[in-house]
Chains A and B, each alone.
Chain A
Amino acid sequence: MPQNTTIAERRAALLHAGAQVSRRVISILDPEELLQQVVDIICDEFGFYYAGVFLLDETREWAILRTGRGAAGAQMVAAGHKLKVGGLSMIGVATGQRRALIALDVGEEPVHFKNPYLPLTRSEMALPLCVGDQVIGALTVQSTEEAAFTEDDITALQAMADQLAIAIHNARLYAQNRHLLAQAERRARLLAAAAQVGRDVTSILDWHALINETVDIICDAYGFYYAGVFLLDELGEWAVLRAGRGEAGARMLMAGHKLKVGGISMIGTAISQRRALIALDVGEEPVHFKNPYLPLTRSEMALPLLVGDRVIGALTVQSVEEAAFSEEDIASLQAMADQLAIALDNARLLRDLEVAHAELLRTKTFEALATATLEAIHWIGNKALPVSSSVARLRTDLAALASADPERVASMQEDLTMIEESVRLILAVQEHLIGPAREQQPRPTLVEDVVKDTVARLGLPAGLVQYTVAENTPLAIADSTQLGRACGYILQNAVEALVGAPRQEIRVEIAPTNEGRFVDIRIMDTGPGIPEAELDKLWAAFHSTKGATHAGLGLSACVQILRQIDGQITARNVPGGGALFEMLIPAFSGELPMTTLPHGRSILLVDDDDAWSRWAAATLSGAGNQVARVTEAVEPAAYDLILVDDALETADSTALVKQLTAAGAGGKLIVVASYLRVERTTALLQRGVRDVVLKPYTPAALAGLL
């Protein structure tokens, strides 16, 4: 500022420069840009050596240098230069006392902070930046000339400073408004997406379709990289992935991905704490499960799926952007998750209702069949017998005529084959209806023995079936014949499923479950599994996945058999292939009555070394009898009683019975079986055995036998 002008000219020049500054800064709306430019504008317009803008911090205790002219300014900003409000510095006084100060000979001025970044300063003016009554900071302008400012200059420069304060305030308001607008827009977009998801998911009533389409709907509506839906397992211990976006989701589903509730994963935490969690830099977030299937995830939000007070699972949404989610997003995304949870729960209820309805229909269908069974069996047996007998006779006759007209005879043979197949199916229906039609006689039953007898009865190859039996498995309450029939259907299914399978194995696991209230029989095969679409239809009467050569009543019969003893049967596929049929049989929970067994007898057990023979030998020996166990015919004279297990794995019970009766032991020979068949029973009785009875599984039943 030239010194040789009149006061009026100087004031006019200052006002002009101040007006110029005001005009230029007022048009800059971005606060950062304004601060960047303002010091240069001031210095350029007024010809100052330096200008700097201090703004008060949140505590209003410090004036922080936000921008300064040139390299000195940049260095001081970088160094975090700040001055105490109300302190001794000119800025401190200007901000503390809301007044402008001038230091004309800075080297002598006691209030001036000797600033090593600005060694040439000889004059300085500090001007408070005020908006209304509030100080927001201060402006320092400095000159290399001594006595560069006069008291008269203050008015003009303060006017400029006031304009600058308003410009800074306006820019801040503008930025704040822009932020609020952006927030409002984001919120509106999230709510619109939530509404879209809500509309889409509530319009899907089929549970399977809903769960599978949900992740795509969410990703499409929000633009997420990945979304996955976890639902709690039956015990509420694991969150099991039920749907996941894209290839990653498909692979995780294949792998049976699940997370422990209450574990360190975000999903596990969201469920256990019933609150949404955000991981903004997932690589560093300790609660994040580092998922190799989703390497690009940089932000994740886990939202609990809540229906009222009940948590049914959790939703994960993931973004490739860091810090993609904020706390403010939780409300709108949780609203979406709440709608999803309700839609899933409603669809599940609808599905349960449909399953119950279908179950009712299936049950009623089979019950209707079973109710009519006694008459039906009589009718079927009577009508079918002549057909098969007639076919057999016709075959013999045709064989004699074959040379007369070979082609016609071949055609007639084909027709007979078709008739035979139809009759076979009709008779198979009869067989399936026979069991459940009977009134069951549940009793304490050793499930392991029934299953192993069934395997022996079916004549399955040695080693095909592998057993795992828990030592603490209790007796079950079941009709062993009917349970054997049900096990037979399931095992036969498993055997048929293994045809052509690269690995052929059937695993049987028997263990207590539901706190010992049930005995769990799990029969798994290594076949191709059950097609998903067939899983719900398996139990329907006359439905077969094996084509027209099967009657499709075996599994219906199983349902009926299990239902009659308050048990249940389910089927599902196991990860890695193969089908799993699971039967729950009520466990025997009462006290076995005190029983006094006969003693002092010599008893021969003809049986494999299995659970039943070990129990029977121990029980009989414990009562004071001499017990021997063999799987071969021995001289029977030495024994008072011979018990032969009809289902032997390591020997032929028929041959053994023949040898023993031939040796004159028929009168003391009792054949025991978990599954009684009429032809077998009559044949054995005809052979001269004393009796053929159901195998005893309790001391009382054993005493009754003796």
Chain B
Amino acid sequence: MVKDAIKILLVDDEPLVLRSMEKTLLRAGFDVETAGSARAGRFRFEEARTDQAPFDLAILDLHMPNLNDQDDPNAGLQLLSVLLAVEPTLPVIVLSAFDEVSRAKEAVARGARAYFVKGREAGLVEIVNEIFNP
């Protein structure tokens, strides 16, 4: 098991969601860092690379403040493209309250590895594990 080595960047503007998912992932044994916007997420991502401790996986909310701190329903896709431009192999899970197939397909087309609908029974931890242990 390589869980201890897995470092996750979790980006969401909902503090409760953020903290809840952080706790869930921490309990599952992952190393988690959080950010409340796309801009803050990109900052943490770059900071970690600078620190030679890059993230193994990113979980990005779709609808949150974008890189310019503007409320944006596609902020997660924007950040996804930025992160993958820097690190093309980074596994990214897109997180959304919307189960729109077209948006999910767009996320996958942009390189997302999974699309997680908030509130669905499918567990986030299972999705993460699936990515690292297919």
A residues with a Cβ closer than 8 A to B are 374, 377-386, 388-390, 392-393, 396, 427, 430, 434, 438, 676-679, 681-683, 685-686, 692
Selected contact of A686 from candidates B19, B20, B113, CB within 8 Å:
B113
B27 touches A393 (CB 8 A): yes
Chain A residues with Cβ under 8 A from B3's Cβ?
none
Asked if A385 meets B105 with Cβ closer than 8 Å, knowing A378-B98, A393-B24, A677-B99, the reply is: no
Chain A residues with Cβ under 8 A from B108's Cβ?
682, 685-686
Determine if B88 is an interface residue (Cβ-Cβ < 8 Å): no
Selected contact of A385 from candidates B101, B114, B118, CB within 8 Å:
B118
Residue of chain A at shortest CB distance from B116: A679
A677 touches B101 (CB 8 A): yes
Distance in Å from the Cβ of B29 to the closest Cβ of chain A?
A: 13
B118 touches A678 (CB 8 A): no
Per-residue interface assignment for chain B, residues 7 to 41, with 1 indicating a CB less than 8 Å from any chain A CB and 0 otherwise: 00000001011011101100100000000000000
Per the bound structure, the CA–CA distance linking A694 and B120 in Å amounts to 22
Selected contact of A380 from candidates B21, B101, B103, B119, CB within 8 Å:
B119
Chain B residues with a Cβ closer than 8 Å to the other chain, count: 31
The A-contacting residues of B in range 83-134, CB under 8 angstroms, are: 96-101, 103-105, 107-108, 112-120, 122
B98 touches A396 (CB 8 A): no
Chain A residues with Cβ under 8 A from B19's Cβ?
386
Per the bound structure, the CA–CA distance linking A147 and B27 in Å amounts to 145
Residue of chain A at shortest CB distance from B25: A389
Residue of chain B at shortest CB distance from A428: B119
Chain A residues with Cβ under 8 A from B44's Cβ?
none
Asked if A678 meets B24 with Cβ closer than 8 Å, knowing A382-B14, A383-B16, A386-B17, the reply is: no
Chain A residues with Cβ under 8 A from B113's Cβ?
686
Per the bound structure, the CA–CA distance linking A538 and B115 in Å amounts to 35
B119 touches A678 (CB 8 A): no
Distance in Å from the Cβ of A465 to the closest Cβ of chain B?
A: 25
The 8 closest A-B pairs by CB, nearest first: A381-B97, A386-B20, A381-B118, A678-B99, A682-B115, A678-B104, A378-B97, A676-B101
Per the bound structure, the CA–CA distance linking A678 and B14 in Å amounts to 22
B20 touches A389 (CB 8 A): yes
Asked if A390 meets B101 with Cβ closer than 8 Å, knowing A378-B63, A381-B117, A686-B108, the reply is: no
A427 touches B119 (CB 8 A): yes
Per the bound structure, the CA–CA distance linking A380 and B113 in Å amounts to 25
Per-residue interface assignment for chain B, residues 46 to 88, with 1 indicating a CB less than 8 Å from any chain A CB and 0 otherwise: 0000000000000000010000000000000000000000000
Per the bound structure, the CA–CA distance linking A133 and B16 in Å amounts to 117
Asked if A385 meets B119 with Cβ closer than 8 Å, knowing A377-B97, A393-B24, the reply is: yes
A381 touches B119 (CB 8 A): yes
Chain B residues with Cβ under 8 A from A434's Cβ?
98-99
A682 touches B63 (CB 8 A): no
Q: List 21 A-B contacts (CB under 8 A).
A: A377-B98, A378-B97, A380-B97, A380-B119, A381-B97, A382-B14, A382-B16, A386-B19, A389-B24, A393-B23, A393-B27, A427-B120, A430-B119, A434-B98, A438-B100, A676-B101, A678-B101, A678-B103, A678-B104, A678-B117, A679-B115
A679 touches B20 (CB 8 A): no
Per the bound structure, the CA–CA distance linking A676 and B117 in Å amounts to 14
Residue of chain B at shortest CB distance from A381: B97
Chain A residues with Cβ under 8 A from B105's Cβ?
681-682, 685, 692
**Chain A contact residues, majority secondary structure:** helix
Asked if A389 meets B23 with Cβ closer than 8 Å, knowing A676-B101, A682-B115, the reply is: yes
Chain B residues with Cβ under 8 A from A393's Cβ?
23-24, 27
Per the bound structure, the CA–CA distance linking A686 and B105 in Å amounts to 10
Chain A residues with Cβ under 8 A from B21's Cβ?
385-386, 389
A686 touches B114 (CB 8 A): yes
Distance in Å from the Cβ of A106 to the closest Cβ of chain B?
A: 120
Chain B residues with Cβ under 8 A from A396's Cβ?
27
Chain B residues with Cβ under 8 A from A682's Cβ?
104-105, 107-108, 112, 114-115
Distance in Å from the Cβ of B44 to the closest Cβ of chain A?
A: 21
Per the bound structure, the CA–CA distance linking A383 and B116 in Å amounts to 15
Chain A residues with Cβ under 8 A from B14's Cβ?
382
Per the bound structure, the CA–CA distance linking A90 and B99 in Å amounts to 114
Chain A residues with Cβ under 8 A from B117's Cβ?
381, 678-679
Distance in Å from the Cβ of A481 to the closest Cβ of chain B?
A: 8
Per the bound structure, the CA–CA distance linking A271 and B30 in Å amounts to 80
Asked if A382 meets B97 with Cβ closer than 8 Å, knowing A389-B20, A678-B104, the reply is: yes
Per the bound structure, the CA–CA distance linking A678 and B116 in Å amounts to 9
Residue of chain A at shortest CB distance from B23: A393
Chain A residues with Cβ under 8 A from B103's Cβ?
678
Distance in Å from the Cβ of B47 to the closest Cβ of chain A?
A: 26
Chain B residues with Cβ under 8 A from A374's Cβ?
98
Residue of chain B at shortest CB distance from A387: B20
B104 touches A388 (CB 8 A): no
Per the bound structure, the CA–CA distance linking A581 and B15 in Å amounts to 44
Per the bound structure, the CA–CA distance linking A381 and B61 in Å amounts to 12
Selected contact of B119 from candidates A388, A676, A683, CB within 8 Å:
A388
Residue of chain A at shortest CB distance from B112: A682
Per the bound structure, the CA–CA distance linking A427 and B113 in Å amounts to 25
Chain A residues with Cβ under 8 A from B120's Cβ?
427, 679
Distance in Å from the Cβ of B50 to the closest Cβ of chain A?
A: 30
Per the bound structure, the CA–CA distance linking A384 and B101 in Å amounts to 22
Per the bound structure, the CA–CA distance linking A676 and B101 in Å amounts to 7
Distance in Å from the Cβ of A674 to the closest Cβ of chain B?
A: 13
Residue of chain B at shortest CB distance from A377: B97
Per the bound structure, the CA–CA distance linking A676 and B24 in Å amounts to 29
Distance in Å from the Cβ of A256 to the closest Cβ of chain B?
A: 44
Per the bound structure, the CA–CA distance linking A430 and B112 in Å amounts to 25
Per the bound structure, the CA–CA distance linking A390 and B24 in Å amounts to 8
Distance in Å from the Cβ of B103 to the closest Cβ of chain A?
A: 8
Per the bound structure, the CA–CA distance linking A676 and B63 in Å amounts to 22
Residue of chain B at shortest CB distance from A679: B122
Per the bound structure, the CA–CA distance linking A284 and B101 in Å amounts to 72
